[in-house]
Amino acid sequence: MLYHTTDHAKIPRLGLGTWKLEGETCASSVAKAIEIGYRHIDTAAVYENEEAVGKGIRDSGIDRSEIFVTTKVWMDRIKKEEVVGALSESLDKLQMDQVDMALLHWPVGDMPIEDQVSQLATCKTSGKAKLIGVSNYNQDQLLQALTSCSERLSNIQCEYHPLLDQDPILKTARGFDMLFTSYSPLGRGDRGTVLDNPAVKRVAEYHGKTPTQVVLRWHLQQANVAAIPKATSEEHLRENFDIFGWDLSAADMKTLYGLMRPDGRMVNPDWSPKWDTGVEAA
């Protein structure tokens, strides 16, 4: 496993994403992932699966202290200035006293960034979250958050894969030694837009790996980058985890960087901020 160390915490740079996983399927996937070796589990209040995630962690038999757990507070609770209460509810569902990372899931467009992150800071000072951060912020919003939050922000989570240029956010995150966590690291929806790309297939064939493994390895060979692919079957969980002990060459990395395109963004809801690159919100 590769780790990013920040604020006296070691964050595993490969984790399990749980978006759209529900009930016993979610719990069993989490437990199986931990059995395989995953030590970073990502969830969110809006996923409505925190109970299942907590159950999967308990069912794994691995001590809670060995699992890095991230959850996220949804926009409506941010706007109502209920972030601390919302995180308390998430902890109750997870059956935990503290999460390792609490994130604001999306920025609230008509609310000052300072007011949003001040609530997040209280989550850390109250002991409900060991570390704090944000998700889906653009570069300007991230800089505002970093300079106005009374507690250090350790993580930003955003969509990222070989089709999407995230260089502005990545540079800012690295400048503040933040971890950048890639969600939808293989793309979303039509998986073939990334994994069926002939260039990716050629690199995979050369290394004797799958296109999925090549793309995830591309993420982890970038400084300060983590990835949280979703998987349910044991086969895909193992495939996603088998990305250690080998490297992509500089030429391989360049090949994947070369796939970025202006319309590469796949997650762009109506409430999105004005993105730094790619397709902007309508």
Strand partners for 159? 183
Residue 63: phi and psi, rounded to 5, are -60, 140
Q: Does 258 reside within a domain?
A: no
Mean pLDDT estimate for the chain: 95
Please tell me the distance from the alpha carbon of residue 67 to that of residue 11, in angstroms, as a whole number. Answer: 9
* 160 given a catalytic annotation: no
Q: Does 277 reside within a domain?
A: no
Buried b (16+ CB within 10 A) or exposed e, 29-47: bbbbbbeeebbbbbbbbeb
Please tell me the distance from the alpha carbon of residue 5 to that of residue 88, in angstroms, as a whole number. Answer: 26
Q: Does 256 reside within a domain?
A: no
pLDDT confidence of residue 189? 59
pLDDT confidence of residue 192? 57
Q: Does 162 reside within a domain?
A: yes
User: What is residue 147's three-state secondary structure?
Assistant: helix
The residue ranges of the chain whose pLDDT is under 70 are: 189-192, 278-282
Find the largest Cα–Cα distance for the chain: 53
CB contact at 8 A, 228 and 182: yes
Residue 224's CB is within 10 A of a number of other CB atoms, namely 19
Look up the domain containing 154 and give its range: 9-189+221-233
pLDDT in tens, 103-142: 999 999 999 999 999 999 999 999 999 999 999 999 999 9
Number of structural domains in the chain: 1
- Taking alpha carbons only, the member of 3, 64, 73 closest to residue 30 is 64
pLDDT confidence of residue 279? 47
Query: What is the token pair recorded at 141?
Result: 């919003």
Please tell me the distance from the alpha carbon of residue 120 to that of residue 105, in angstroms, as a whole number. Answer: 11
User: Which residue in the list 47, 137, 160, 183 is annotated as catalytic?
Assistant: 47
CB contact at 8 A, 245 and 208: no
User: What is residue 280's three-state secondary structure?
Assistant: coil
- Taking alpha carbons only, the member of 186, 149, 178 closest to residue 264 is 186
- Beta-strand relationship, 99-104 and 129-135: parallel
Q: Does 214 reside within a domain?
A: no
Q: Does 120 reside within a domain?
A: yes
Please tell me the distance from the alpha carbon of residue 23 to that of residue 112, in angstroms, as a whole number. Answer: 36
Q: Does 269 reside within a domain?
A: no
Q: Does 72 reside within a domain?
A: yes
CATH value at residue 75: 3.20.20.100
